[in-house]
Structure 1
Amino acid sequence: MSTVAITTKQYIEEREGCYRIVGKRVSLDSIIYAFLAGRSPESIVQSFPALTLEEVYGAITFYLANRTAIDAYLVEGEQLFETLRQQARESNSLLSQKLYSDRTS
């Protein structure tokens, strides 16, 4: 029997409170939202040419292995985004009104 060296890789790293693909600027959020929307790993790679198919599968595997924690992380991010959006609307109320009125016209 021949021995073959098997390597294990880490695809996700946490930096400054954000999960990213190791060595890339692509967030785990971006890949997981695409995956949850039903996109295939191959189509995700087309949207993120900096990633390999292996990295996308690695990110999805990381998500599936840590689903509860990552789902909570995603919800927390959505709540933070909503809070920041509301603060921006309040601090720029005239601009917000103009944008809203342009959208409804």
Structure 2
Amino acid sequence: MTSLALEQETPPLCPEESGAVRVGNSRILLELVIWAFQDGATPEVIVEQYPTLNLADVYSTVGYYLRHQEAVNAYLASRNQQAKAIREKFAKIQPDSSQIRARLLARQNAQS
């Protein structure tokens, strides 16, 4: 009988200095894969949505998520907070879209 050599595998997650975590050798963020899975997508569907992903990497990532939901959910919450802070920062420095529209309409009327 041939025995199966079992090896420990590290999840295919690549953390970056910015705090983002990418899946495998792709540019796809961990949160995109997890959100798709939480929305009911299978790993096969996720790979169809993000063709740069490897199916085995997605299965491994989902398995990691299922074994470490608390930590991954904390990471997702942190990333959501970071994204919210960035949106708020840019909202403060961006002009109100109604002001932009008014200026464009005024310019259009002046040219007519």
TM-score w.r.t. the length of structure 1 is: 0.80
The count of aligned residue pairs is 99
Aligned 1:1-105 pairs, distance under 5 A? 1-10=1-10, 11-16=12-17, 17-95=19-97, 98=100
| Unaligned ranges ≥5, structure 2 | 102-112
| Unaligned ranges ≥5, structure 1 | 100-105
Distance 1:35 1:97 in 2: 40
Kept after mapping to 2: 8 A contact 1:12/1:62: no
Distance 2:25 2:98 in 1: 37
Question: After TM superposition, what 4+ stretches of structure 1 lie above 6 angstroms from structure 2?
Answer: none
Superposed CA deviations along residues 18-68 of structure 1, whole A, max 9, x for unmatched, are 222232222111100101111111110101111122111111011111111
Pick the structure with greater CA Rg.
Answer: 2
Distance 1:98 1:86 in 2: 19
Q: SS state of the match for residue 96, structure 2?
A: helix
